[in-house]
């Protein structure tokens, strides 16, 4: 049996020693903010302690969970969106969907991501807690935020756009933004991400898109550009406030959505790993 070499282990544990882990998932509970287009989240205890007590005095509790692939913090699969009947790669959308979900481009086709993630805090750039509803984050915003942090986006990275919107989580109607809209990337910002060959991008809103007041989901060009055209997955409804408060522009992101075969999306518990000050060479 091979074991991790002392060298390998030492490097990894040293790099991880004292690392700060930031939870990027919003809590899931009945009544949570979510899109009305998706199944309302429900969790109910099926069995409670005492319902059945074994001869040895032991008892157990469990629950039923009802949700959707786009409820709470989640990752969109490439199959989620089609344009003129096609999904990413020119596949016929109608030919890959069935009672078994999606035979191609389902969330199970997204390789769990563990890698470099650049955090572009556009809210801070503008000196606000959160960008205004309906605000379109521009390519200039992204570049300025990167410059301010002296960080660059590299191919293979994940990029998270900080709109500050997760600071509004407790104001359910405002957060969902049906009436007033939500901030999000405009098409030029989407192109900026595509040009830099990121593999996943996302943020705090339910839909990673600029949605103006009253516009609803009549048009979601960023979803089309990222999912259908560029094959870049999207992560949404992230809890970024704590990460933004940490003022860190580069983290190790772990993004491993549930392995639901053929789904158009899946819930996820993303984590940002920030090594301790000093690191191994400090």
Which 178-237 residues touch a second copy, going by CB under 8 A?
217-220, 223-224
Residues contacting a second copy: total by CB under 8 A: 124
CA 275-259-167 angle, to 5 degrees, is 50
CA distances from 101 to 95, 131, 175 (A): 11, 36, 30
Of 34, 67, 163, 166, the residue at the interface with a second copy (CB under 8 A) is 67
Strand, helix or coil for residue 53: strand
Closest CB to a second copy among residues 188, 260: 260
Which 92-111 residues touch a second copy, going by CB under 8 A?
93-94, 97-102, 108, 111
Q: Is 278 in the site for a second copy (CB under 8 A)?
A: yes
- Site stretch for a second copy (CB under 8 A), options 129-137, 170-178, 196-204, 262-270: 262-270
CB 241 within 8 A of CB 163: no
Q: Is 249 in the site for a second copy (CB under 8 A)?
A: yes
Draw the binding track, 40-59, toward a second copy (x: CB under 8 A; -: no contact): x-xxxxxxxxxxx-xxxxxx
Of 109, 144, 169, 275, the residue at the interface with a second copy (CB under 8 A) is 275
Distance, C-alpha 132 to centroid of its chain: 20
| Sign of the dihedral through C-alpha 219, 105, 35, 117 | negative
Interatomic CA distance for residues 263 and 194, integer angstroms: 24
Of 34, 82, 163, 210, the residue at the interface with a second copy (CB under 8 A) is 82
């Amino acid at each position: 049996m091979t074991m991790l070499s002392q060298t390998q282990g030492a490097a990894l544990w040293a790099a991880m020693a004292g690392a700060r882990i930031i939870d990027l998932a919003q809590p899931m509970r009945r009544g949570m903010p979510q899109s009305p287009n998706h199944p309302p989240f429900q969790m109910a205890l099926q069995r409670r302690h005492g319902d059945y007590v074994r001869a040895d005095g032991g008892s157990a509790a469990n629950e039923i969970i009802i949700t959707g692939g786009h409820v709470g913090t989640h990752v969109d699969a490439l199959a989620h969106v089609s344009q003129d009947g096609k999904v990413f790669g020119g596949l016929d959308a109608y030919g890959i969907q069935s009672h078994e979900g999606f035979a191609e481009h389902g969330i199970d086709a997204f390789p769990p991501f563990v890698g470099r993630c650049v955090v572009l805090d556009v809210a801070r750039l503008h000196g606000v807690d959160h960008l205004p509803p309906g605000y379109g984050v521009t390519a200039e915003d992204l570049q300025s935020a990167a410059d301010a942090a002296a960080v660059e986006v590299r191919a293979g990275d994940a990029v998270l756009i900080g709109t500050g919107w997760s600071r509004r989580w407790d104001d359910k109607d405002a957060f969902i933004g049906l009436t007033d809209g939500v901030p999000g990337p405009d098409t030029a910002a989407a192109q900026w991400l595509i040009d830099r060959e990121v593999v996943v991008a996302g943020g705090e809103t339910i839909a990673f898109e600029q949605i103006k007041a009253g516009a609803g989901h009549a048009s979601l060009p960023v979803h089309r550009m990222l999912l259908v055209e560029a094959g870049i997955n999207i992560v949404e409804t992230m809890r970024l406030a704590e990460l933004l408060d940490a003022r860190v522009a580069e983290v190790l992101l772990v993004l491993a959505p549930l392995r639901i075969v053929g789904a158009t999306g899946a819930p996820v518990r993303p984590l940002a790993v920030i090594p301790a000050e000093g690191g191994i060479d400090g």
